[in-house]
A and B are shown apart, each in its own frame.
Chain A
Amino acid sequence: MNHSASPGTGQPRRLRPEHRRFALVTLLPGLSLLILLSLIASVGAINLAFQDRMLRFPDAAYVGLENFERLFRDRRFANALQVSAIWEVVTVVCTMLLAVLLAILLVEGVRSPRVRNAICILLIIPVLLPRVSAGLIWRFLYSPTMGAANYPLTMLGLPPIEFLSDPQIALYAVALVDIWQWGLFFGVVLAKLIETLPKEPQEAARLDHAGTLGVYWWVALPMLRGPIIMMTFVKAIESLRSFDLIYTMTAGGPGISTETLDLYAFQQGIGISGRISYASSLSVLLMVMTVIIFSILWKRAARWAA
């Protein structure tokens, strides 16, 4: 499991010509579909990024790098960049922390496999919810007047916290929903992975004076290093696609305090501004950045996971 899941390990095998031809033929349908769906759209976006097209005017002209120059002077863009970075770090780190703690709790705390499986099924439900539904559910939970999240506070006579209207809190309140969805799911995955580990090294560690948490820290989790790194990587990519959740919960507000890069691009291009070329340049920049950062991370992850 841990070895087959790690990317890029091992030398690529040299294929015989007839095998190579077979590989090409079988890859062709999938590849052409990919090219059709993603490449055309990407080329279109790149093309748009060098024009000054707006939705309210029928004509447009090529303006070179002007859109990009404007981006670097745009403070709202800088804000979106920062929000995106915080979002990425907070959701990825907290999801993995929650997953690890939950997995240990599941394996150590629930001895009966049947009960554990039942709990696992319940814990998977949040990630099965469409993001929009999850967002709406939590919007009600967070509501200062009727939300369950504030219920204990008001019971104690404390003022309610306005989770989604407070610019200091809103981003983290939305991030919590993402962590709730993915942390629980990854916790179940990790618990199942821990169950598949051979028991003897962990028992040996217990005889070697390691406590319960020590056994996980020193032995079980390092044995799952490959899968954990891959899960982190998957979550990092998933966290980039936060648009639907943030849009349903805060739409980038209050103000621009939860406006990530994709939300900003949407506001610029599709929202009231209709500056489709400017939004495209933003998307292109976002794409280039992600490709570069994740290519580096991918290589690193492959090495760490090995």
Chain B
Amino acid sequence: MATIEIRDIGKNYGDVRVLDGLNLDIGDGEFIVLLGPSGCGKSTMLRMIAGLEDVDSGTIAIGSKVVNNLAPGDRRVAMVFQSYALYPHMTVFDNIAFGLRRLRVPKLEITRRVDEVAKLLAIDGLLARKPAQLSGGQQQRVAMARAMIKTPSVFLFDEPLSNLDAKLRDHLRVEIKRLHGMLGTTTIFVTHDQLEAMALADRIVVMNGGRIEQQGTPQEIYHAPQTLFVARFVGNPTINLLDGRVGTDGRIEYMSGSLDVGAARLDGLAPGSPLTIGIRARDLKLPGRLPEAAVAGRIDAKVELVELLGDEAQLDLLVGDKSLVVLVDGRTPPAIGSTLSLEVDRNALHLFDPESGRAIHKTGQKLHQAA
């Protein structure tokens, strides 16, 4: 159990600045997910917390003790790697017991504790095997057992599910969540998979180019993205973006029409100034699905492609030369080639300043409406 305070940490690889003065506070027992594209510095940050990378500037404190110069083994952290990182020449038992043996824990206690965690992770039948004889999912369970047995104050996960197939990934994800609920250990989990981030996190930290773009609960990140980057990165399918301009009377002009978003939303913006309009695929509705008061406007679009996904169907639409993606009920999808007049939900519109990429809205208000 421990809090983590990260103050102004920076890291360079040669001339490349991979982390640029990052600040982050993590509460005791919190489940934090670092989310971002590859190369955004999230893994580097995790490895710096683990002590596997040197800190170039700033401080990292675990349990209010600065650990910058502490060896990895002395930080009371445990890490689970994407590649499992098991010791290939040792049996599962020896893998799990390795850390305790280095600490000279008595033999009997080691056996007892290994049995305990092995049972917890349902690998107690595999203790005599070598890693090469295990499936990917089993190997990752062994890696988790090896991390857990040390009763660390912080768990670090570096994309632990990326090498597994989809089904196992879902399964282990639930397991990690369950274990966190049971142990309550402070956890930092790195991933580039936004679904994983949404499912696991108490708080998501979205990173880009060595900086934090936004941090917040999964709801905040999804429903109130503060930058274009976050809006684009989170959500599947990717959010639809249209170029527009501020019109008059609380309206926004875009290429083929206008949307009424209310004067309050555009407060302080000069008419004619450019905007980027973000609409999630689920927030564009077929006609008649929204109460009239919530309709900000209609977009006429031609159906180019219909992909059935099960419960839903994904439509690829054309508006002028711009393509939109919409999710609709999968039972009665519109025909290819037909023209739809899609209704835009006023409460689900995201507006961004195209220059700075920052959102134009009040976060609190937005969240309230979304909820």
Contacts and interface: CB of A to CB of B under 8 A. Distances in A.
Given A209-B73, A219-B87, A204 B102 contact: no
Given A198-B83, A204-B81, A206-B72, A214 B88 contact: no
Contacts of B71: 206
A205 B87 contact: yes
Contact of A223 (B77, B78, B89, B150): B89
B85 A203 contact: yes
A302 interface: no
A169 interface: no
B81 A223 contact: no
A206 B88 contact: no
Nearest to B143: A204
B86 interface: yes
Contact of B98 (A198, A200, A208): A208
A38 B184 CA distance: 72
A64 B51 CA distance: 73
Interface of A is mostly: helix
A198 B102 CA distance: 21
Nearest to A206: B72
Nearest to A225: B89
Interface string A217-237: 011001101000000000000
Contacts, number: 63
B14 to A, nearest CB: 11
Contact of A206 (B73, B81, B87, B90): B73
Contacts of A201: 85-88
Contacts of A200: 81, 83-85
Interface string B96-124: 00110011000000000000000000000
A210 B87 CA distance: 13
A218 B51 CA distance: 20
A221 to B, nearest CB: 10
A204 B79 CA distance: 7
B150 to A, nearest CB: 7
Interface residues of B, number: 25
Contacts of A214: 102
A91 B178 CA distance: 57
A208 B102 contact: yes
Nearest to B97: A208
Contacts of B99: 207-209
A209 B88 contact: no
A206 B84 CA distance: 15
B52 A206 contact: yes
B228 to A, nearest CB: 35
B130 to A, nearest CB: 11
B223 interface: no
Interface string B280-306: 000000000000000000000000000
A218 B102 CA distance: 10
Interface string B8-21: 00000000000000
Nearest to A222: B89
B42 interface: no
A218 B85 contact: no
Contacts of B88: 201, 223
A198 B88 CA distance: 11
B72 A207 contact: yes
A223 B131 CA distance: 13
Contact of A207 (B77, B87, B103): B77
Contacts of B231: none
Contacts of B51: 206-207
B146 interface: yes
A204 B72 CA distance: 9
A5 B196 CA distance: 41
Contact of B79 (A207, A218, A225): A207
A280 to B, nearest CB: 46
A30 to B, nearest CB: 35
B73 A204 contact: no
A214 B89 CA distance: 15
B351 interface: no
B50 interface: yes
Nearest to B85: A200
A200 B79 CA distance: 10
Contacts of B146: 204, 208
Contacts of B52: 203, 206-207
A207 B73 CA distance: 4
Given A200-B83, A200-B84, A205-B87, 7 more contacts: A203-B72, A203-B81, A204-B143, A206-B73, A207-B50, A207-B77, A209-B102
24 contacts: A200-B85, A201-B86, A201-B87, A203-B81, A204-B79, A204-B85, A204-B86, A204-B87, A204-B146, A205-B98, A206-B72, A207-B50, A207-B52, A207-B72, A207-B73, A207-B79, A207-B99, A208-B73, A208-B99, A208-B146, A210-B73, A218-B98, A223-B88, A223-B89
Interface of B: 50-52, 71-73, 77-79, 81, 83-90, 98-99, 102-103, 143, 146, 150
Considering the complex of A and B, which 3 residue pairs feature the smallest CB-CB distances, nearest first? Answer: A200-B85, A208-B99, A209-B73
